[in-house]
Amino acid sequence: MFKIGGEYLARSTDPVILERALSGGVATALIKYLLEKKIVDYALIVRSDGVTGGRLFFTRDPREVVESAGSICLSPINMAKAIRDYVSRDEKIVLTVKPCEEKAIDYLVKTGRVNRENMFLIGLNCGGLFDPFSLEKTMEEMNIDPKKITDIRYHDDGIEIIIDDEKSFRIDYVKGYEKLGQRDACKRCLDHVPKLSDVALGYWGVPVRTAKYTYTIPLTERGRRVLEEMLHSGLIEAVPAPPSAVEARKKIIEALNKTSMIARAKQYEILDKTGISSYLQKCLMCMECWHACPVRSEKEIYAWKKKIDPALWQVSVITYMYDKCVGCGACEDVCPVKIPFALIIERLRDLRKELGV
């Protein structure tokens, strides 16, 4: 039934997974299946403690995977860095990734640091992540316990915040991004859907929130085959996505991209007005950005620190990262003096395109 690039509404047939999962449980069912069939050695999963807190852990136990179903974490977690730091080329692993993380993993694959053949990537749609402090502060102001947020959903007209699976309220994108403290890198992101994973999953386009389906797109032959096996084993059920669902998903992606283009232009304007050098001269050479970055090599850091003249440090790092940066914004999250490092790189790339050089 499944075709590469085909769009489907699917769901787990396991009542426990279906109950716990946010939308259809296909991600949980997939990870469980891959572990049980020993197609992978272990899984890297997220367990959240309210929407602003989440921790990553490795597991071989399918029960732990089911227990973590429905975990949402709206603060940055850095899956790709965990892969870079803790996964060897020989280990077979499954993990869920956001679009910027799959790009970082793709870079790690191309530079020989991890083996794509040994990784099953479940790509998730991503509308963006939030600064945990701003999110919590706004929730407090609104008298909402952040731990009671059960989901944040993206629609074509804005963000919906769901409390205790019952109440919900909506904010339009621009107001919502500011109020909830969306990360600058996410505000300007133009990569909201997975393209490099084995399977792309999400809920965008699923008609009703409570319908409990996962919008499912196999992206590789391996992804297609595993979904097909699961379907034949009765672990999932699936139907082709109806045109209304395809259209609804498309509209959400268009709305997010449109908002990102506006945010990007605004961020460029501020950057141009302030001047890149004003930001760069604040650099403390603390290396926090280096440690946080999923594509820079930890080994290289020591060589760099010894060799580089502090006055040239940031310019050298920008040159070094110019064709490597995947725009995840992890460097901006940790910078103590708020240097918009990834924004500077994106600005320079766009300027180069504009100038045609």
- The dihedral over CA atoms of 202, 204, 207, 211, expressed in degrees to the nearest 10, equals 30
Nearer residue to ligand SF4 within complex by CB, 83 or 292:
292
Which residue number, 22 or 321, has a Cβ lying nearer to ligand SF4?
A: 321
Between CA 95 and CA 35 the distance in angstroms is 11
Residue whose CB is less far from ligand SF4, 202 or 218: 202
Q: Considering the complex, state which of residue 91 and residue 288 has its C-beta at the smaller distance from ligand SF4.
A: 288
Contact predicate 203/212, CB 8 Å: no
- What is the full DSSP assignment across 174-220? HHHHHHHTB-HHHHT----S-SSSSEEEE-TT-S-GGG--EEEEE-S
Distance (Å, whole) CA 202 – CA 155: 13
Torsion of CA 180, 182, 183, 188, to 10 degrees: -160
Least distance from ligand SF4 to the Cβ atom of residue 75, Å: 10
What angle, 0 to 180 degrees and rounded to 10, lies between the N-to-C axes of helices 132-141 and 173-180?
A: 100
Q: Which amino acid, residue 112?
A: G
Packed helices 243-274 and 341-355: angle between N→C axes, nearest 10 degrees: 100
Is the CB of 142 or the CB of 337 nearer to ligand SF4? 337
C-beta separation of 183 from 333 below 8 A: yes
User: Applying CB under 6 A, which residues contact ligand SF4?
Assistant: 98-100, 126, 128-129, 185-186, 189, 191, 283-289, 292-293, 295, 321, 325-331, 334-337, 339, 341-342
Select 152 or 292, whichever has its Cβ closest to ligand SF4.
Answer: 292
